[in-house]
């Protein structure tokens, strides 16, 4: 039985990776994508937020809303965000980052319901 995808990752403007999880949008900058893929370094996940100050002005801000890292086996990439924990195969992320694929699905990591600790 296939699990439903909870989000997607796709190429964005100027080489960044855009991540959509439900109704929120996150992104990873190009330098961090290269460090993640080639060197295995974890990277911050950013979220752009707009705030209405009044009817004429909007405030645009960027905040770090999580991080992304390659798992210990080296075959998948885990996204830890304010919306939850998600996973994608490493080769799918590499294909999207290189422009060989338009997008790839993210799958939610569910907590262990048997009483274990979820980190």
Q: What is the pLDDT of residues 30-88, one digit of tens each?
A: 999 999 999 999 999 998 776 666 666 666 778 889 999 999 888 999 999 888 899 99
Q: 22-26, 57-61, 113-117: which has the highest mean pLDDT?
A: 22-26
Q: What is the dihedral of CA 3, 94, 96, 5, to 10 degrees?
A: 10
Bridge pairing between strands 17-21 and 7-11: antiparallel
- Mean pLDDT score, 1-10: 71
Percent of the chain scoring above 70 in pLDDT: 80
Return the residue matching tokens 């304010």.
Answer: 82
């Amino acid at each position: 039985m296939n699990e439903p995808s909870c989000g997607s990752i796709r190429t964005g403007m100027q080489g960044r990776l855009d991540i959509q999880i439900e109704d929120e949008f996150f992104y990873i900058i190009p330098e961090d994508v290269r460090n993640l893929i080639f060197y295995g370094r974890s990277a911050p996940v950013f979220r752009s937020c707009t705030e209405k100050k009044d009817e004429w002005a909007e405030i645009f801000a960027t905040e770090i809303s999580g991080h992304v890292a390659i798992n210990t086996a080296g075959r998948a990439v885990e996204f830890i965000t304010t919306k939850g924990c998600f996973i994608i195969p490493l080769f799918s992320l590499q294909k999207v980052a290189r422009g060989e694929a338009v997008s790839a699905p993210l799958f939610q990591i569910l907590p262990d319901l048997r009483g274990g600790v979820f980190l």
